[in-house]
Structure 1
């Protein structure tokens, strides 16, 4: 879980740095790259939710837990 949270933080930092560089330089290419990095952020957030769901203990519908 720590690695996925680090992935979210890294994606946010990357987007911020690229957006800041785009703002300073006026580069549309850097702005586009910053927005494209949003895909990495979405993937990291989905990964966090997936790990949380997989970590749930067994219940009446999932005899062996949610991990598989």
Structure 2
């Protein structure tokens, strides 16, 4: 298992948190997702084989911006 913290802009409420969590959990191999709305950080625990670009794309498809 690996962990990654992704900085995301645009999340402001519980709906935002649910949308991001749901999008990431749909990716095969994502074990857990924790969203901190105050800091905009998304902590993802996942198996090898998932790329950062896949995770970023899943978040961006929900309408949020991933900060590099």
The structure in which a higher percent of residues are strand is 2
The structure richer in helix per residue is 1
Task: Give the TM-score normalised by structure 2.
Answer: 0.30
Greater gyration radius: 1
Report which structure shows greater RCO (CA 8 Å, sep ≥6): 2
Give the structure-1-normalised TM-score. Answer: 0.30
